[in-house]
Structure 1
Amino acid sequence: MTASASPVRRWFVPGDLNGFFGLVVDNLSILGFIAAALIGIFQFPAEVVFTRMFPGTALGVLVGNLIYTWMAHRLAAKTGRDDVTAMPLGLDAPTSIGMALLVLGPAFVGFKQAGLDEQAAANATWQLGMASLVVMGVLKLVLSFFGDAVTRAVPRAGLLGSIGGAALTLLGFLPLIETLRQPIVGFVTFGLLLYVLVAKGRLPVKLPGVLLAFIVGTALYYGLGLAGLGAPGFKVPEAVPLALTLPLPTLGWLDGLAYTVPYLPLLLPFGLLMVVGGINVSESARAAGDDYRTRDVLLAEAVSTLVAGVCGGVAQTTPYIGQPAYKHMGARKGYTLLTGVFIGVGGVLGYVSGLVQWLPVAVLAPIIVYVGLDITVQAFTETPRKHAIAVALGFLPSVAYLLTIKFGNPAWIAPDRFAGLYEGVDGHGLPDLATIVTLGNGFIITAMIWTTALVAMIDGRNGRAVVALLVGAVLTLFGIIHSVDPRGGIYLPWDVEGLRATILWQFAGAYAALAALLGALSLQKKP
């Protein structure tokens, strides 16, 4: 008898190059939109974004991909297979964009309005970003041991519906406006992305579809701009000099912890979403033949998020859902190693910032619109048909938050009118503007509670619906949802006075009244 030779487990195969390009483009596009949103929309200092926020954020990508590469190597050694594909890890699109548009940008504006100069406001915002990652990382670390219990407590419609609403309104609508501010560039880029990603159309060149769309869009932007045919406001960006910026651990996140309190209704669902997503991704990889332990997958993303936060990062990492797709590309474990090193070293040396600086917002925004649409569709397709109306219900609070964002813009509504939104009544109930803002505050958790209660009613489980509504009443009392603080801050209910107190008790009473009614209805004899 002759012993069979064990397979040669190579670190790199040709398919890893395809996987590398795809994963790098995903991460660069998200970094690009963070920079474009903060610098272009909120006038955030570019130096802080590129030399403080990006190195730590990129380090999180490096750490996470190194862990996943090692996990793939370990699985291949354990099973004796040479076709094991590593879990792809990168920056999470919805929550990274949400951090830029809903947390960091508004916080920077708020700090300046509070009297801080630009540099001090930028530093405080950076500390808030670091602390936010630490908060989400700790939450993910704890929930990684209870992930299955979380998914049992909150129905899939509650999780996907709440995020689907945010995806449609905030990731879909807001970036669509940025797309069409450069109509030719943005529309062509968006159309090409839909052609390759949705219609699965053929291309004349063998390039990843997203990369080709970026090349075409960027060429259009600079070509039309230099020819004087582009939209107003065209300018060639200044080159970002290469510089060594080490993402060393810092205690700045401790100073930012107090700033996170008003944003907890956003940050906690962001972290929870990653835990649920990690569970789904693990199941997807298992179905493709690579049996990774779910807890290991969740712990790896929690650790990489914590490392990023402690070292200055502002965007959390997550395993991507496309592990089977990378497997079909022929990628194995080398592509995650290449991606981690490219992004991590690029954040330290500055060439990632240089690449991002040259990508126009009108080219980056369309991919975010696509991500928003894809998440919205998933909210319906991945839930039972009878729960579809609950998913749609979960979209409504995010519409209120979208209006709040625009109402808070002085170009839309005079600041003195917005400041007085909790003043006066018109005889028809609560003031319109106050109702919209109150509904929008804590919109993700609100949507989870609404959809959970409706799913329970649809399934004939009124007791569970009552529990969900009572939780909503308690959270309302403390401002975790339906905060009567225009900024969405939390408080003690007995510290609130005037019309704000009336609104607080009216909303909390609404949840309690419906819970009591459903509880009474559940006492009926079953036919």
Structure 2
Amino acid sequence: MQTASRRWLASGDLNGFLGLVVDNLSIMAFLSMALIHIFGFPADIVFLRMFPGTALGVLLGNIAYTVMARRLARRTGREDVTAMPLGLDAPTSIGMALLVLGPAFLSFKQSGMDPHAAAVATWQLGMASLVVMGVLKTVLSFFGAMVQRHVPRAGLLGSIAGIALVLMGFLPLVEILKVPVVGFAGLGIVLYALVARGRLPFGLPGVLVAFVVAALLYFLLGPLGLLGNGYHVPPAWEWRFALPLPTLEWTHGLAYTLPYLPLILPFGLLMVVGGINVTESARAAGDDYSTRDILLVEALATLVAGFCGGVAQTTPYIGQPSYKAMGARSGYTLLTGLVIGLGGIFGYVSNIVELVPLSVLAPILVFVAIGITVQAFEATPMRYAAAVVFSFFPAIARMVTIKLSDPTYVAPDHFVALFNDNTRGISELAVIAVLGNGFIITSMIWASFVVALIDGRVARAAGIVLLGAVLTVFGLIHSVDLAGGVYLPWQLSAGAQSMVWQFVGAYVALAAVLFLLSLQRDKPSGVGHTS
């Protein structure tokens, strides 16, 4: 018992620390890369205003989880208690960059703001989004079980798997293949060590080996001209000191959050359900943490990060049993929190993500994307697999819209013209964009009504579809606003209203068909079987 309370580090904590740090660095690298290189965001706003507060959330959350692990060890007299790993949530952090912050920055500039003012407004929006998610998670932490009961697991996991597959899987894979000699080697090691469970020399962790090998290839082959245009001379090391002090800047961003609520609120909801799942996973591995305490810690870490300038939410990671198998105990979370948190304050995290190309860090994101997608099928009964797959389509539409609306591919005026071309019904581009807007909620609706059909609850399926119709009216899903904003339909132009009512009519027609089918006395063969 004394040993359990005094021992801060175990031999396995180094492996856990390396894996958890690289996870967080990968996400911060993608966040900065997307904002700076895709959307042209000013780097100083990212590194001096967004990163310190974001990293502070990781610091505070990991310290709290370390304390919880040590208390559990003292209470049980066990030395093998493993702390819950906490870090930046990959799907929603990438979603914030690509779906909220980046598009908002472009929108602010198009409204006439100069780039710096637009960047500050975007930062305020990101802070406000985190505060909204933090409040939602704090409230739902007391009602997590109720949320789980009313939203099918296929809907929850399918919607987040859709984000994982196309945003944090496919897009980082593209980054890997921009420098294929480097990225593919790192990805192969990750797949060998973490997917195939292959053993690496001296028992080294796969994440560390993949990072080192890819970095060596990049910095050895690049200066020799063997990577083509994929190598860039690293920028000079620059100290960026910024304290993440509490500020009321987020209050200026609250008004900006309205168009993005269909994304922001589901992001928070997913973390609550995810927190419940990972706590159950840790409990099954032998560490009985309080679900409410796990949820409250990460909710408060998100809130504090938002108050102090952060733009990406924290979450307990699903891999607690994996860290336990590595031999990690409570020291790895403390070390990770200190390295990431202090790195955001003193600026060395921003220097690392500038120094190391995304092709080196991205393999871990692809692995996490694979893991989340696989989990959606493993944690859902096989009979609901079709519902999970069906829920992927809105996310695919959103990814296509992101690429098609990128000014490096399609001129903005041309994109808007194609979107509004309704000479032959709703244009193909408009269908893709409208399907992708509000895609997380759409995925939940679609998966939920298919689950109800599979269970033979056809009338319930009709009710879920009618809920989809109501949400469509106000743009919470299928928004006809290019930016995905919500609205009152009667305030739209005649053409936009026509599009809204066609999508609403589609849901109403489907609900009517399902309601009529529910009146049948004999169910079709196969419907309603739950085994």
Query: Normalising by structure 1, what TM-score?
Result: 0.95
Contact 2:90 2:168 in 1 (8 A): no
Q: Deviations over 1:452-491 (max 9, x none)?
A: 0010011011232122111111110000000010110100
2:197 to 195, 200, 213: 200
Contact 1:479 1:491 in 2 (8 A): yes
> Partner of 1:478 in structure 2?
474
Q: 1:26-175 residue pairs with structure 2 within 5 A?
A: 26-175=23-172
Q: 1:483-498 residue pairs with structure 2 within 5 A?
A: 483-498=479-494
- How far does residue 7 in structure 1 lie from its aligned partner after superposition? 5.0
Contact 2:52 2:310 in 1 (8 A): yes
The secondary structure found in structure 2 opposite 1:131 is: helix
Tell me the number of residue pairs that the alignment of Structure 1 and Structure 2 aligns.
522
- How far does residue 520 in structure 1 lie from its aligned partner after superposition? 2.3
Matched, 1:337 2:327: no
The secondary structure found in structure 2 opposite 1:174 is: helix
> Partner of 1:376 in structure 2?
373
Letter in 2 for 1:342: V
The secondary structure found in structure 2 opposite 1:318 is: strand
Q: 1:1-16 residue pairs with structure 2 within 5 A?
A: 8-9=4-5, 10-16=7-13
- How far does residue 51 in structure 1 lie from its aligned partner after superposition? 1.2
Q: Distance in 1 between matches of 2:322 and 2:377?
A: 22
> Partner of 2:527 in structure 1?
none
Q: Deviations over 1:141-171 (max 9, x none)?
A: 1111111111111111111111222222222
> Partner of 1:515 in structure 2?
511
The secondary structure found in structure 2 opposite 1:90 is: strand
Contact 2:187 2:364 in 1 (8 A): yes
Q: Distance in 2 between matches of 1:353 and 1:14?
A: 29
Matched, 1:18 2:26: no
Would the alpha carbon gap of residues 139 and 289 (structure 1) be closer, same or farther in structure 2, given more than 3 Å must change?
same
Letter in 2 for 1:471: L
Q: 1:173-188 residue pairs with structure 2 within 5 A?
A: 173-188=170-185
- How far does residue 6 in structure 1 lie from its aligned partner after superposition? 5.5
Letter in 1 for 2:488: L
Q: Distance in 2 between matches of 1:35 and 1:389?
A: 36
Matched, 1:388 2:385: yes
The secondary structure found in structure 2 opposite 1:262 is: helix
The secondary structure found in structure 2 opposite 1:420 is: helix
Letter in 2 for 1:74: R
> Partner of 1:296 in structure 2?
293
> Partner of 1:500 in structure 2?
496
Matched, 1:247 2:247: no
The secondary structure found in structure 1 opposite 2:87 is: strand
Contact 2:128 2:250 in 1 (8 A): yes
- How far does residue 205 in structure 1 lie from its aligned partner after superposition? 4.3
Q: Distance in 2 between matches of 1:42 and 1:401?
A: 17
Would the alpha carbon gap of residues 25 and 425 (structure 1) be closer, same or farther in structure 2, given more than 3 Å must change?
closer
Matched, 1:460 2:456: yes
- How far does residue 202 in structure 1 lie from its aligned partner after superposition? 2.5
Deviates more, 1:221-230 or 1:152-161: 221-230
Letter in 2 for 1:385: M
Letter in 1 for 2:362: A
- How far does residue 436 in structure 1 lie from its aligned partner after superposition? 1.5
Contact 2:17 2:335 in 1 (8 A): yes
1:259 to 252, 256, 268: 256
Would the alpha carbon gap of residues 241 and 379 (structure 1) be closer, same or farther in structure 2, given more than 3 Å must change?
same
Matched, 1:449 2:442: no
Contact 1:185 1:217 in 2 (8 A): yes
Q: Distance in 1 between matches of 2:174 and 2:4?
A: 51
Q: Distance in 2 between matches of 1:83 and 1:411?
A: 52
Deviates more, 1:260-269 or 1:14-23: 14-23
The secondary structure found in structure 1 opposite 2:410 is: coil
Q: Distance in 1 between matches of 2:210 and 2:236?
A: 23
The secondary structure found in structure 1 opposite 2:318 is: coil
Q: Distance in 1 between matches of 2:161 and 2:330?
A: 32
Q: Distance in 2 between matches of 1:346 and 1:437?
A: 38
Would the alpha carbon gap of residues 215 and 118 (structure 1) be closer, same or farther in structure 2, given more than 3 Å must change?
same
> Partner of 1:328 in structure 2?
325
Runs of 4+ in 1 over 4 A off after TM superposition: 5-8
Letter in 2 for 1:386: R
Q: Deviations over 1:406-440 (max 9, x none)?
A: 2212343332232224534334x322221221111
Letter in 2 for 1:133: L
Q: Distance in 1 between matches of 2:111 and 2:237?
A: 31
Contact 1:422 1:500 in 2 (8 A): no
Q: Distance in 2 between matches of 1:75 and 1:211?
A: 29
- How far does residue 519 in structure 1 lie from its aligned partner after superposition? 1.8
> Partner of 1:282 in structure 2?
279
Letter in 2 for 1:432: E
Query: Normalising by structure 2, what TM-score?
Result: 0.95
Letter in 2 for 1:519: F
Q: Distance in 2 between matches of 1:17 and 1:424?
A: 57
> Partner of 1:228 in structure 2?
225
Q: Deviations over 1:198-252 (max 9, x none)?
A: 1222323443211111111112112222112222153222234224311000111
Contact 2:98 2:402 in 1 (8 A): no
Deviates more, 1:415-424 or 1:318-327: 415-424
Q: Deviations over 1:43-102 (max 9, x none)?
A: 222221111111101100111011111111222222222222111111111111111122
Contact 1:285 1:292 in 2 (8 A): yes
The secondary structure found in structure 2 opposite 1:83 is: coil
Q: Distance in 1 between matches of 2:26 and 2:372?
A: 17
Identity of aligned residues (%): 65
1:398 to 385, 395, 399: 395
Letter in 2 for 1:95: T
